[in-house]
Structure 1
Amino acid sequence: MAKTKWALDLAHSNIDFSIKHMMFARVNGSFKKFDANIEADPEDLTTATIEFTVDASSIDTRNEDRDNHLRSADFFDVEKYPAITFKATKITRKSPGEYEVTGDLTIRDVTRQETFIVTYEGSGKDPWGNERAGFSARGTISRSEYGLKWNAVLETGGVLVGDDVQISVVIQAIKQA
């Protein structure tokens, strides 16, 4: 398959995260609004163009007070930094269908190189004749390296919010004519 443009199917795509809470539990959340520019041969991502833009204000942890705190200057400061972006700069095949995708991740105007493991899940035609491809990605980033440093010390000596954020992305894309 040749390198072609793909559009996200937002109804079948998601960006999720998980972070330690109180040193012994996890809080999960997602971003509800995002878009991507993908030009790729899904069976060989090594030459792909991959760019994501996430609306930081679309964060959802199923708790309105927590979400509003995450939108504030203590964390994402969405009024000043409304978008989180990722642009792939290097893609290496690790095994058939699995890649290391390294790129520039920007959060709160801080850009750092991050690497995610991306898996090509397969492709096929939907009932309406559209060619679709599925991908998943996973990785871990340090929130403090992006200026998201707010925390509270617990009586036990630990902290309320962990530093490592596990990220999981599931994408279904539709081939464009």
Structure 2
Amino acid sequence: MPLPLWTIDPAHSAVLFIARHMVVARVHGRFERVSGTLRVDPRTPTQGEVDVRVEAASIYTGNPERDAHLRSPEFLDAEAIPHLTFKASQSHPVGATGFQLQGELTLRRVTRPVLLEARYLSTTRDPWGQTRLLYSARTSLQRSDFGIQWNKALDNGGWLIGEKVDVELDIQATPAQG
């Protein structure tokens, strides 16, 4: 019997990132449009399947010029490749509510294995009677693993943009309709 299907609630879910800028500063950003599904039994919430889809053009850092550059072919190439996807079906428990989620991230038509350190937060009912599963997860990516090479050298010998990008996900999911 297949696991119950849950739909990611885009209004209450977020994909956030932090990248180094000019060696010591950090740029914080987010993707404003995320969707997808989970296949999970609420009685065993750290086991199941995940399928997340992020619209590349929804990247937002608070700086329109930088956001346009991040959407360009030098970074996400959002016009030609409109989505980033993460799919996973293997998880391994870590403590009472933690788990490692092994999956594949596809970014710029490059697919790489990615390990998310995840945490089941709660199964709860909202004030309107809707059951919700709540999760958080994090990982770190290397830009060059996905063909994102653009950078500029600084006078101090460093680089304008760090190689590592830290990613955090906050996910709320509700039972799929139909």
Give 4+ residue runs of structure 1 displaced > 4 Å after superposition: none
CA contact (8 A) 2:13 2:34 kept: no
Distance 1:150 1:49, change over 3 A: same
Q: For residue 165 of structure 2, what is the amino acid of its counterpart?
A: V
**Which structure has the highest strand share of the two?**
1
Aligned residues: 176
Task: State the 1:77 CA deviation.
Answer: 0.9
TM-score (norm 1): 0.94
Corresponding residue for 2:100? 100
Corresponding residue for 2:163? 163
- % identical aligned pairs: 38
Corresponding residue for 2:113? 113
TM-score (norm 2): 0.94
3-state SS of the aligned residue for 2:67? helix
Corresponding residue for 2:80? 80
Distance 1:122 1:47, change over 3 A: closer
Aligned-pair Cα RMSD in Å: 1.4
Whole-angstrom distance in 2 between the partners of 1:28 and 1:43: 35
Residue correspondence of structure 1 range 116-155 to structure 2 within 5 A: 116-155=116-155
Distance 1:89 1:176, change over 3 A: closer
Extract unaligned runs of 5+ from structure 1. none
3-state SS of the aligned residue for 1:67? helix
Distance 1:172 1:118, change over 3 A: same
Extract unaligned runs of 5+ from structure 2. none
